[in-house]
Amino acid sequence: MIGALALLPMACGGQHPTRTVPTQWAPDSATVRRAAGPEYDRGTVWRFFWGQHYRSIWATPVTAPVLHLATAVPGGMVPLQAGGSYQTRSLRLRAAGGQEYVLRSVDKDASAAFTADWQRRLLGGLMKDQTSVAQPYGAYVAAQLAEAAGVYHTNPQLVYLPNDPALGEFRAAYANDLYLLEERPDGNQTAVASFGHSPAVHSTGVMLATVRQRPSAQVDPRAYLRARLLDVWLGDWSRREDQWRWASFTKGAQLTYRPIPRDRDQAFFLFNDGFFTRIISWFVPKYQSFTARIRPGDIDDLTATARALDRTLLGTLDGEDFRQVADSMRLRLTDAAIARAFAAGPPETRASIAAYFEPLLRARREQLPDVAQSYYQLLAQEAWVVGTDQAERFVLSEDSPGRLRVRMLSHRPNQADSLLTERVYDRRETSSVHLYGLAGDDIFEFNTPNKSGVAVHIFEGGGRNQLRSPSQSKAGTAGITWHSRPGGTTIIAKQGIKVKVDADTSATTNARSWLTRYRL
């Protein structure tokens, strides 16, 4: 412990110094040989306390082609905009034909998340060192495994960006480093097979706004579930809303979205292999390390960052749907498919990466059905049924003892209502169902008394809403809570429904307010 305390001043002694990484140029200047992060190669004592992580891979020199913007694609590329999350530097590029690409730095710096100078001075060096928890070339493998699993994906290429005058104002900040170059999933992508040849790819914000405003727009829930199970299989716990794009497809009046996961920075995350990092993982449980076993208790933390998306987009699927998708993935992810994935990436690290990861992925693959069951049970505890800004009719009835059927229909004047979603909830799995009407003049209708044992919470949202129930007794409306906005629909007390006036309806009134639930 004394030795560990002695390491703290070194670890926390300010931000990491400017990187000076030896770079060996090929005679023809077409490639370079360079390590992505030689500074992470620390001594035995340091590794004991702060983790082995992927330090040896970061310190291995690899060969990368040199990217010259003027000749990278026909007509060249021009830089448009700097960006990135709190730890990745990115640069958006546009080709002469209008296609857009993005450069994402291989090396990261999580210390940029600190907002105060004293935090960066005290902990910046340690945070920078913990970049080694990420597998620097994991995005290559993840893309190949996504292809095998039937999930859309980007196609990263490792490149070295020299001190290119074509960088213009971005030259000082971006020159002389390793990057992943990949297609930017946005707009017309009919030429990209791994985006489903979609004619229009949108952000999560656009997708969510559209499906909440148009009953004819929906996300393919099985495609999203497949992508989420892939996240868990890869140990990728960082799946916030901005790390998704959505391929759209139109058939008649129906608009369907399918997910494109991106930014696989935290796939194969390895954190708990040091004395201190293991202790930290007890207090920050989302930092799940990639091991051969996926414990049922880990599913909650592995999926937490996309929980709001999960409840919104997977709410129509039942346990059988989860089982079928998991079984399908397990069959697709053959030993041969896993082995092929490790043929990607720098030649210098392929053998060692494959020897380490292939057995772990095979072991995790066999657990996918159990993972899916745990995942379903987690989400089923509190189920969401979310309407749109148009008028809907929510119809609730007892399917059988202990089971509640919920149907959501599009309610249109002078036309027959059309079914949007339907699902049966079992009180052994589901403790509560939350119905969100959002805007529009919605109807909440109970065809039979609620004796299912499943608590029902109705959030009326905006509009002029109605509650219809055949029973005026409290027994007939047991377990039902009506959440009203100030000045909203008045519920007659003798109906026996609990009424709660929510002063803050900022996330339940209409489609625009609903978006505040997400980190967009």
| Rounded-to-integer distance, Cα 83 and Cα 227, Å | 25
pLDDT at site 372: 98
| Rounded-to-integer distance, Cα 353 and Cα 348, Å | 10
Q: Are 289 and 235 in contact (CB under 8 A)?
A: yes
Chain position carrying tokens 């971006």:
174
| Rounded-to-integer distance, Cα 7 and Cα 180, Å | 33
Six-digit token pair at 29? Answer: 């200047």
Which parts of the chain sit beneath pLDDT 70? 1-19, 84-87, 112-113, 115, 470-478, 492-496
Q: Are 169 and 184 in contact (CB under 8 A)?
A: no
Angle between helices 221-234 and 319-332 (to 10 degrees): 60
Q: Are 246 and 204 in contact (CB under 8 A)?
A: yes
Q: Are 80 and 152 in contact (CB under 8 A)?
A: no
Helices of type H across 366-505 = 368-380
User: pTM value?
Assistant: 0.92
Burial class, 1, CB count within 10 angstroms (exposed 0-12 / middle 13-18 / buried 19+)? exposed
Residue 358 vs residues 68, 328, 339, 361, 371: alpha-carbon distances, Å: 35, 20, 7, 5, 19
SS3 state at 392: strand
Domain ranges of the chain: 24-381, 387-518
Angle between helices 138-149 and 319-332 (to 10 degrees): 110
Number of helical (H) and strand (E) elements in the chain, helices listed first:
16, 22
Six-digit token pair at 417? Answer: 């209502």
| Rounded-to-integer distance, Cα 71 and Cα 29, Å | 14
Six-digit token pair at 263? Answer: 């930014």
Q: Are 133 and 270 in contact (CB under 8 A)?
A: yes
Q: Are 35 and 62 in contact (CB under 8 A)?
A: yes
| Rounded-to-integer distance, Cα 226 and Cα 144, Å | 15
